């Protein structure tokens, strides 16, 4: 029986999905190295990054060029930002500053269509009475 399938004995939960951070970094590694970086190397990158290693040290440890490590760091930072946005710790769209405020310069207001409707209705009533 496949994971998540139901039977008379109950249901089994599907196995947990891999860490989204790992998946994002693996995708970035595959993109940057044309599938040349192994999953173990990506896991080692995560360990080194979490321990606070510098980019140059990570590149030396993994034996990859610095631009590959820079791409992975960029992907890791983007993933961290996405997590903070999803957790509500950061706004998705920051509030614009006063110099970027948008002003409504349209003429008229919402009362104009209402006034036009009333005038037209009164015209129809007067026309019906005069006829």
Number of domains in the chain: 1
6 bridge partner residues:
11
Q: For residue 114, tell me if it sits in a domain.
A: no
Q: What backbone torsions phi and psi does residue 127 show, to the nearest 5 degrees?
A: -60, -40
What pLDDT score was predicted for residue 108?
Answer: 64
Three-state SS for the chain is CCCCCEECCEECCCCCCCCHHHHHHHHHHHHHHCCCCCHHHHHHHHHHHHCCCCHHHHHHHHCCCHHHHHHHHHHHHHHHHHHHHHCCCCCCCCCCCHHHCCCCCCCCCCHHHHHHHHHHHHHHHHHHHHC
Encode pLDDT of 53-82 as tens digits: 999 999 999 999 999 999 999 999 999 998
Q: For residue 123, tell me if it sits in a domain.
A: no
Q: For residue 1, tell me if it sits in a domain.
A: no
What pLDDT score was predicted for residue 65?
Answer: 95
What pLDDT score was predicted for residue 63?
Answer: 94
Range(s) of the domain holding residue 28: 18-86
Residues of the chain predicted below pLDDT 50: 1-11, 13-17
Q: For residue 108, tell me if it sits in a domain.
A: no
Q: Does pTM top 0.95 for this prediction?
A: no
């Amino acid at each position: 029986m496949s994971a998540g399938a139901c039977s008379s004995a109950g249901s089994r939960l599907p196995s947990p999905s891999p860490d989204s951070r790992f998946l994002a970094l693996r995708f970035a590694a595959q993109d940057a190295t044309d599938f040349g970086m192994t999953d173990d190397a990506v896991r080692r990158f995560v360990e080194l990054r979490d321990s606070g290693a510098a980019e140059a040290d990570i590149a030396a440890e993994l034996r990859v060029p610095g631009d590959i490590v820079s791409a992975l760091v960029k992907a890791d930072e983007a993933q961290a930002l996405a997590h903070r946005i999803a957790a509500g710790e950061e706004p998705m769209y920051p509030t614009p500053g006063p110099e970027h405020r948008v002003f409504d310069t349209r003429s008229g207001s919402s009362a104009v269509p209402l006034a036009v409707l009333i005038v037209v209705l009164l015209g129809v009533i007067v026309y019906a009475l005069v006829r």
